[in-house]
Amino acid sequence: MKWNRKSLFFSVLLSALVLSTIPTDAMAAATFKDVNEQHWASESVEWASNQGLTKGYPDGTFAPDKPITEAQFVTMLVRFDCSSPDSFPSSAGEHKAAGNYRYLTRNNIPLDGQSSNFSKDWPLKRGTAARIIAAYQGVDLSEAQAVYYMYMNDLATGASVSNTFKDFRPNDSLTRAEAVDLLHRISNTGACDLVGLSKRPTGSDNGKYPLPKGFKDDGTAYFPSPETNTKPPVGSTPPSYTANVDVEKKELIANGIDQTFITVSFCTGKSDSYEESLPFRVTSRHKAQITGDTGNQNKYTSVFFSDGPEVTVAVTAPKSTKALTDTITFQYDGPSGSSSVCMKKSVDVQLTYQPQAEVRIDVETVDHLQRNEKTSYITASIVRPGGERATNFNGRIRFTSSGSSYTWNEYVTVVNGRATAVLTRPWYGFELTDDLTVEVVDWNTWQSSDLQSILNQTHHHEIFYPGDMRLNPACTSEKPEIAFIIDSSGSMRRSDPTDARKKETDKLITALNAPVNIAAKFNSRGIHLATGAPDTVKSSLYRIDASGGTNIASGMKEAFSKFSGTGPKVAILLTDGKSGESQINAMITEAKTKGIAVFTIGLGNPQQLNETLLRKIALETGGTYYHVADSKEIASTYQSILDEITCGIKGQTCSATSQVFSSPLLEFRGNDFFMSTDVRSNCDIAKVIVRFQSNQGDIDYELVDRGQNHYKLTRGLQELVDLRLFDEGLFIAYDRNNKQIGDPKRVIIKGK
């Protein structure tokens, strides 16, 4: 359930286009002399100026009511797109927006100005803007169908109550104020990545949205009630009223190992269906291996059960020396009478399997706790296109570690297509991430004609060492009776693929060593696992799996019923989803009655969590809420909870590096250098910089806050120092008092 910033881009469009005449609160001071605090779009105008989306006019005005030209809107879209540089260069004699047009046209965005310079500087119509945004979001629609799609999904209403095509006023010009307000609203949803179309726009998706009678007439058109979608569309599968699709990655290596997660969110016709689990048959046309809710690897077709409205499966690419295009089909497989209208259509997801040479890196780590050491055995395999190891390859591999170590054999000879290096490092118990670099440095040319793509290249692999769980011996607080309430729903297969929640719960039980421990899991229902001494409860954790829906209240009920003592009581609730609020409110009341302090952990995408409810559970019962973006952060979060319940020390939820930054990236892209990261929402971060360290001094670049906790900066190489001299950079976060938050995050530069 990873977060995807594409979520509500399309849905906000109508609000901006049709309802833009409705005033909103103007809380920010006006940036331009013709936009005062009372102007309905003042906050959005100032935001757009601060983000570098617009500079206004030389006379200090913004001209909010002036129609925006297509070229101006194109420029704003490119600057807004989180997946691209802020602009693309134009050649001498070209229109200044020509480079931006080429970028959007490569993604098949319907633009009149691509073939006509005159059209570039002509006002953009509302109906045309709807088509542009639909294509930006991955949906190929004609103008009327784009408007109907918005009405049908209850994304907006017309200027009056008739809700017709004419009532939308598609031929009116989009104003500059409406344009920046649109982007501001989209920013607040996190939807900023360009999806685009796979082919030239022709209205190929029109058949998915047939126009109702009267829609293009002057009368009133009537539509079926909209369904509620819970996930943003991703990839090449167009969104519709039947389902939304989230694909982790659309292109896999055809090696029999590479894997991607697919989550399809069906509308169930019910407003609250998270506790349900429904059957769906999932099939691969090219017989790729599919793994679902049980965690067992299945053949190319099998039945899987949903987590509420969501079906999550992992698809493993087959071995192949030829490129393949696969279709993964999701089809409801339950009784026909129990399905809603929007589940009756099957959903197809396109994947591509590409054969390519690889340096495959595997790591096995052994703890030597008595010597305070960890030893990692790092094996690099030379793999030919199609997934077979190059057993006759002769050469050497150079291994480089970013961390300190006692022993490290840097150059290793390849034997039978493999080379293994041994790294032994001191271990002090603190969380550590090591950036490993692997490079093939010597080889026989006649053996490597199909391996050229991996030779003379640097290959990176991250090794994460979770910190030890430690009890502070100076703390004398009474050990509580403690319950662990762990999400076991189907979506956990994607949210926690390494089963960190089981491993770290085991470590926490050992560290605390409380006399009474309670373990419960929940999917569509709560299940008591064990109660008793640490070893008894730890031995039951293997039963935590990933299948079915998300019934948080049922899990809480099972755990709360096992508390029996009169001393302090603590429960830790970990989930990656949503659940019915009324039942949870009843559990909050029970926790308060029994004196149970509930610490809540929300794992994964905040948009898929009911964080308000999780905070409420913690606040009203005396616990603390933690958001964990990645399952590897569970260890540090558990340590914070351990400190709080034994020492009374309130956890610093943003003290760990991994809890401040999410998906930091430094990358060369053509003639530009791209820097970006997401940050934790509750860390009160005011500034993010990237620092490049050298003997001549540090070089800092401050990233731009693009909204929704996303920071980004793209600069042309001619504007920067020669960053090709550096291998890595440090991401550093600061609060409003310029005080550093947490530790820097070291990131390897890509694309050199």
293 — pLDDT class (breaks 50, 70, 90): low
Q: What is the pLDDT of residue 517?
A: 97
461 lies in the same domain as 573: no
256 lies in the same domain as 174: no
Closest CA to 141 of 125, 122, 127: 127
End of a domain among 163, 192, 208?
Answer: 208
CATH number at residue 316: 2.60.40.10
CB 745 within 8 A of CB 661: yes
Domain assignment present for 221: no
Domain assignment present for 496: yes
pLDDT digits (tens, 9 = 90+) for 5-41: 333 333 444 444 444 433 333 333 446 888 888 888 8
Adjacent-strand bridge partners of 286? none
User: Mapping DSSP to helix (H, G, I), strand (E, B) and coil, where does residue 261 land?
Assistant: strand
CA distance 627 to 601: 6
491 lies in the same domain as 362: no
CA distance 520 to 752: 49
Averaged pLDDT, 458-486: 85
Q: Which residue type sits at 264?
A: V
182 lies in the same domain as 281: no
Domain assignment present for 219: no
Residue 36 burial (CB count, 10 A):
11
Averaged pLDDT, 379-401: 91
501 lies in the same domain as 531: yes
CB 329 within 8 A of CB 347: yes
171 lies in the same domain as 250: no
63 lies in the same domain as 159: yes
What does DSSP say about strands 710-716 and 672-679: parallel, antiparallel, or unpaired?
A: antiparallel
519 lies in the same domain as 588: yes
CA distance 617 to 622: 9
Adjacent-strand bridge partners of 715? 673
191 phi, psi to nearest 5 deg? -90, 100
Domain assignment present for 229: no
What does DSSP say about strands 710-716 and 704-705: parallel, antiparallel, or unpaired?
A: antiparallel
Q: What is the DSSP string of 621-648?
A: HT--EEEESSGGGHHHHHHHHHHHHHH-
Percent of residues, the chain, with pLDDT higher than 70:
83
Closest CA to 179 of 80, 313, 280: 80
Higher per-residue confidence, 629 vs 233: 629
Note the pTM of the prediction, 2 decimals. 0.60
Averaged pLDDT, 694-721: 81
521 lies in the same domain as 574: yes
172 lies in the same domain as 23: yes
452 lies in the same domain as 511: no
Q: What is the pLDDT of residue 149?
A: 65
285 lies in the same domain as 374: no
Domain assignment present for 213: no
* Number of folded domains that form the chain: 5
Q: What is the pLDDT of residue 153?
A: 46
Q: State the Cα torsion 515-527-312-610 to the nearest 10°.
A: -70
End of a domain among 318, 337, 354?
Answer: 354
Q: Which residue type sits at 600?
A: T
Task: Give the domain extent around 66.
Answer: 9-208
CA distance 433 to 275: 37
Cβ-proximal residues to 59 (8 Å cutoff; 6+ apart), any chain: none
CA distance 348 to 649: 50
CB 352 within 8 A of CB 325: yes
Averaged pLDDT, 104-122: 85
Domain assignment present for 2: no
Higher per-residue confidence, 478 vs 150: 478
Domain assignment present for 473: no
pLDDT digits (tens, 9 = 90+) for 583-600: 899 999 999 999 999 999
Both tokens assigned to 375: 């030893």
Helices then strands (H, E): number in the chain?
16, 32
What does DSSP say about strands 517-522 and 481-487: parallel, antiparallel, or unpaired?
A: parallel
Instruction: Compute CA distances 481 → 220, 518, 540, whole Å.
Output: 63, 8, 17
CATH number at residue 582: 3.40.50.410
242 — pLDDT class (breaks 50, 70, 90): low
Domain assignment present for 561: yes
End of a domain among 596, 626, 653?
Answer: 653
Averaged pLDDT, 566-578: 93
CA distance 505 to 488: 14
